Chain A
Amino acid sequence: MEAEAAKYIGAGLATFGMIGAAIGVGTIFGNFLSGATRNPSAAGGQFTNLILGAALTEALGILAFVLGLLILFS
Chain B
Amino acid sequence: MASPMEQFKIQEGLQLPTVPLPGGLAIDLSLNNSIMAMLIAAGLVIAFFTVATSRTAVVPGRVQLMAEGVFSYIDDMAAGIIGPESRKFFPYVFSMFLFVLSMNMLGLFLAFTATSQLAVTGTLALITFLLVTIVGFARNGISMYKLFVPEGTPWYMLLLVTPIEIISFFLRPVTLALRLFGNMLGGHVALKVFAGFVYSLASLGAVGIVGAILPLAGVVALTSLEFLVAFLQAFVFAVLTCVYLNDVDNLGHHH
Instruction: Establish whether A and B are touching in the complex (CB under 8 Å).
Output: yes
Known contacts A48-B77, A48-B81, A73-B5, A62 near B239 by CB under 8 Å: no
Contacts of A52 in B (CB 8 A): 236, 239-240, 243
Instruction: Name the prevailing secondary structure of the A interface residues.
Output: helix
Instruction: Name the prevailing secondary structure of the B interface residues.
Output: helix
**18 additional contacts, CB 8 Å, given A48-B80, A59-B178, A63-B175?**
A48-B239, A51-B232, A51-B235, A52-B240, A52-B243, A55-B179, A56-B175, A58-B179, A59-B175, A59-B179, A62-B182, A62-B183, A63-B178, A63-B182, A66-B181, A66-B182, A69-B185, A73-B5
Q: Mark A31-74, 1 if CB is under 8 A from B, else 0.
A: 00000000000000000100110011011001101100100010
- Interface residues in chain A, defined as those with a beta carbon under 8 Å from any beta carbon in chain B: 48, 51-52, 55-56, 58-59, 62-63, 65-66, 69, 73
Shortest CB-to-CB span from A71 to chain B, Å, is 14
**In chain B, residues 201-255, which have Cβ atoms closer than 8 Å to a Cβ of chain A?**
232, 235-236, 239-240, 243
Q: Mark B68-82, 1 if CB is under 8 A from A, else 0.
A: 000000000100110
Contacts of A55 in B (CB 8 A): 179, 232, 236, 239-240
Jot down 14 A-B pairs with beta carbons below 8 A, ordered by A: A48-B77, A51-B232, A51-B235, A51-B239, A52-B240, A55-B179, A55-B232, A55-B236, A59-B175, A59-B179, A62-B179, A62-B186, A63-B178, A69-B185
Known contacts A48-B77, A48-B80, A52-B243, A66 near B178 by CB under 8 Å: yes
| Contact B236 A65, beta carbon cutoff 8 Å | no
**Nearest neighbor of B76 in chain A, beta-carbon distance:** A48
**In chain B, residues 178-195, which have Cβ atoms closer than 8 Å to a Cβ of chain A?**
178-179, 181-183, 185-186
**Nearest neighbor of B81 in chain A, beta-carbon distance:** A48
Q: Which residue, A56, A59, A66, has most C-beta atoms of chain B within 10 A?
A: A59
Shortest CB-to-CB span from B36 to chain A, Å, is 24
Q: Which residue, B5, B77, B80, B186, has most C-beta atoms of chain A within 10 A?
A: B186
Contacts of B183 in A (CB 8 A): 58, 62
Shortest CB-to-CB span from A17 to chain B, Å, is 12
Shortest CB-to-CB span from B120 to chain A, Å, is 15
> How far is it, in angstroms, between the C-alpha of A65 and the C-alpha of B235 when the chains are bound?
21
